[in-house]
Chains A and B, each alone.
Chain A
């Protein structure tokens, strides 16, 4: 397939075409925070950023989603299933977030059981990735196997070469999305392709400085649990949900019914194994009563159970979990631990 490019000045044209048949989500600023938000018509996506504060996962796996509503009526209880899935294009997804989608794809279809809410959104979604124009401070994607220049799971990959993006079409979905852009695209010249390759190489060279030793993740996780640092780490954990809610691969959820005035809704929302009520049973027993058990679960799920069950490590190197208010950085700890 011929390689294409699109001038940055013509990106809006393409977005407008995509919006004719799909909701387009892109990084946007919202009251001082960056997240993927639905682009209003004519709004400019903000692609030249470090990384979004919130991961891209909530486009496909929303923080809160309504599954079913009910209303008491004179004719009885009226129950309505809610399906808000629609053709969607995600523009400007970073390689870490795209790699996180691969993880969610497997987690939400594990054992042949499909999570319908995730799967129906995923099927209708086209992912247009953007190679990071600048290395994000703290990013260690390559250490956990993220392909930073052509991430698996993307339908199209854009590489910033100054005034234009060089376009790599990876799938049929991607071909269709690019096809909608029509004349906004032009053939990429040999110079463009060289510039794209050099941009990727420069990025990887800079990211190499931030690498973390993450070979043998399971052995590292186990060694860390036996290390003297472990007690300090779980001792200071506040049991909040930052690390899980900002993680592109965390996918635990809670389901609850919320009734009000003869009607109500069944919602599902993010949940986290670090929360102290996560394993609280009816009757009051808690299988993971302290941060020690909870953080053990988090660590082992990401670095041992997930590789075993899904064939993927539960970390994509985005470093968002470093927002931890008490400086818990499991990856740095694993990278530093001595493995025999």
Chain B
């Protein structure tokens, strides 16, 4: 059992036993050693199932919705960014959320890992060791550089230690220097407009409209999503057709401008592997460069769309 897991369990138990919080939201081991699942502990006994390791990818802020009692969230940097974002947007009282920060050097992209290992039949355990991820199988160990098997967004993370937190379990780790240079967008940047349009046409045509991207996203908390509305109908319904899929996916990305924590939950959830983080990062770069705004990095931050600064008058509109 890892050191971090022990500390998370101990702290969660303390928080519940002292009555400081009524619920701790963390992760537990999933159906396989390379999966974890969100876990809700409302009694000290239930903290025994908590874990924290390289598999804990879900952004847990998605389970915080106007809590009436105090909840603690075992929060990676991106979870914390999302929590601050939704708190600033009135979805939770700051006093009702205890942000128990955990450092993070990237979380596993399960699909990528399995493909890389040739879909092994039996994985016994997965652990981190230095800069490597070690996969123990029935036929010995395989070591892979962490950066090659974590979610792409983790390789340019600016919040490997939660920027806003009530406490921190474990030692802080520095942000990735790549964050501001947007290396992930280089390929899109190199395309002509027509090539980019063709790229997105192909990718978005795959969308089956399961809305896992939306439902896994803490920032998508609208009681009724625009895409579900009939009067007016903003996007054609049904998957597998480009027009409606385009409207949905571009609409989703635009609504997240300045509100995305770059956690990667949308892309991780997508069953047809649409690189949604490229859209989100495209929007992030735009809002970052134009307004110097990054979602959830400070508690004082206002919602981008509700903010006007004099300097903005100088921004050129294309």
Contacts and interface: CB of A to CB of B under 8 A. Distances in A.
Interface of A: 30-33, 50, 53-54, 58, 62-64, 137, 209, 231-232, 235-236, 238-242, 244-246, 254, 256, 258, 267-270, 272, 275, 277, 322-323, 325-329, 332
B31 A329 contact: yes
Contact of B206 (A33, A268, A327): A33
B31 A269 contact: no
B92 interface: no
A258 B236 contact: yes
Contacts of A277: 224, 228
Contact of A267 (B31, B35, B212, B238): B238
A236 B214 CA distance: 15
Given A236-B38, A326-B58, 13 more contacts: A63-B238, A63-B239, A232-B28, A246-B271, A254-B237, A254-B238, A256-B230, A267-B238, A269-B238, A270-B239, A322-B31, A323-B271, A332-B31
B226 interface: no
Contact of B37 (A30, A272, A327): A327
Given A33-B273, A240-B212, A325-B58, A63 B240 contact: yes
Nearest to A235: B40
Given A242-B212, A327-B31, A31 B237 contact: no
A64 B237 contact: yes
Interface in B221-280: 224, 228, 230, 233, 236-241, 244, 265, 268-269, 271-273
B287 interface: no
B31 A137 contact: no
A327 B39 CA distance: 11
A269 to B, nearest CB: 3
A63 B210 contact: no
17 contacts: A31-B203, A33-B206, A33-B273, A50-B119, A53-B273, A63-B240, A64-B239, A64-B241, A236-B38, A240-B210, A241-B208, A242-B210, A242-B212, A245-B239, A322-B31, A325-B216, A327-B35
A50 B118 CA distance: 11
A63 B244 CA distance: 12
Nearest to B214: A240
Contacts, number: 120
Contacts of B298: none
A326 B238 contact: no
A64 B271 contact: no
A239 B237 contact: no
B55 to A, nearest CB: 10
Q: Which 8 A-B pairs have the closest CB atoms?
A: A269-B238, A64-B238, A241-B210, A327-B37, A63-B240, A325-B269, A240-B212, A327-B30
Interface residues of B, number: 44
B119 A325 contact: no
A58 B240 contact: yes
Interface string B17-40: 000000000001011000111111
B310 interface: no
Nearest to B213: A240
A238 B239 contact: no
A54 B239 CA distance: 12
A301 B38 CA distance: 25
A33 B239 CA distance: 15
B201 to A, nearest CB: 10
Contact of A238 (B36, B114, B215): B215
Contacts of B268: 325
B11 interface: no
Contacts of A325: 58, 212, 216, 265, 268-269
B202 interface: yes
A284 to B, nearest CB: 10
Nearest to B217: A238
Which residue of B31, B121, B216, B268 has the most chain A CB atoms within 10 A of its CB atom? B31
A30 to B, nearest CB: 6
A30 B30 CA distance: 30
A213 to B, nearest CB: 15
Identify which of A33, A53, A238, A269 gathers the most chain B CB atoms within 10 Å of its CB: A238
Nearest to B224: A277
Contacts of A63: 208-209, 238-241
B62 interface: yes
A232 B208 contact: no
B63 interface: yes
A258 B119 contact: no
A329 B32 CA distance: 11
B272 A54 contact: yes
B271 A53 contact: yes
Contacts of A275: 211
A62 B114 CA distance: 30
A30 B240 CA distance: 12
Contacts of A58: 240
* Residue among B28, B202, B208 with the highest chain A CB neighbour number at 10 A: B208
Nearest to B37: A327
Contacts of A270: 208-209, 238-239
A309 B188 CA distance: 51
A245 B210 contact: yes
A70 to B, nearest CB: 16
